[in-house]
Amino acid sequence: MQKRTLGQGLEVSALGFGAMGMSHGYGPGPDRDANIALLRAAVDRGVTLFDTAEVYGPYVNEELVGEALAPVRDQVVIATKFGFAIDGQGGRDVDSRPEHIRQVADASLKRLRTDRIDLFYQHRVDPDVPIEDVAGTVKELIEAGKVGHFGMSEAAVATVRRAHAVQPVTAVQNEYSLWWRGPEAELIPACAELGIGLVPFSPLGRGFLTGKMDADTTFAPGDMRAGLPRFDAEARRANQALVDLLTSVAAGKGATVAQIALAWLLARQPWIVPIPGTRRLERLDENLGAAAVDLTAADIERIETAAAAIEVHGARYPEHMERMTNR
């Protein structure tokens, strides 16, 4: 597996592993033993960046990742997140008060079976807590040896800049793919300027960019996609044009649709590290195969020209979720 470097010299595999879907967001999945076996298979294949969060489950995803990676702890980079008010006390959706950040760090360390969190993201910005206080608290955790690096997720560029001035940000995690290119306007230029890595989540459009889904696809109980506007049947029908584009490119490269979608991301910048998730070994191997797909300048130009003529339909989040982003 090729390596890439995020901000502050943090070296990771070119493709990471997003563990969320193993226990959160997509309905019932494989049992615990199967998930642990898959995580360890990813390690065997050279994956070193593993992404989880306390809110996934909640809590059980961190426990799963901790158990799976304990035997190889020093070979991997574990990323987790703070910032949600999971118990909902006080009517808060998010909670990045310093005392809460410290509590989450200690609890996550136990669930992850480790003595340090390699990359600690603020999951969503808390508008009631100055970002300087958040960054300062993470800085203290870094100085205490409990955390290695500071990350942010779905934050506005101005907020990232303010945080970075207090504690250098190693990575920003945002949704980014051919069907959500919002980071290109401001975030990616800012990351280039500040030396911050970008870690795209949902790099395969929550499965849509694999070519395995269409307007007739139904979702299992508990699958979050059933409540996302972009996965409305009409939106999926309209967005099929993007999959058709990837399919045509894939045919000429001897690759799969998913591999072209991931290879396009890898070609954007050398400090972009996508974290596709999966529950199946064959999909893990398919995803990792994207690192070997060579998209030429002509391939990129073809994708860009065709994609520019395709209007992506449907909001990526319901309004209440969208309000938590870009602030």
DSSP structure string for 248-294: HHHHHHT--HHHHHHHHHHTT-TTB------SSHHHHHHHHGGGG--
Question: What are the boundaries of each domain within the chain?
Answer: 3-322
297 phi, psi to nearest 5 deg: -60, -35
Query: Which DSSP state fits 112?
Result: T
Per-residue pLDDT in tens (0 to 9) along the chain, 327 residues: 999 999 999 999 999 999 999 999 999 989 999 999 999 999 999 999 999 999 999 999 999 999 999 999 999 999 999 999 987 656 679 999 999 999 999 999 999 999 999 999 999 999 999 999 999 999 999 999 999 999 999 999 999 999 999 999 999 999 999 999 999 999 999 999 999 999 999 999 999 999 999 999 999 999 999 999 999 999 999 999 999 999 999 999 999 999 999 999 999 999 999 999 999 999 999 999 999 999 999 999 999 999 999 999 999 999 999 999 999
Active-site residue, selected from the candidate residues 26, 56, 121, 176:
56
What top-level class would CATH report for the domain 3-322? alpha beta
Tell me if residue 56 is catalytic: yes
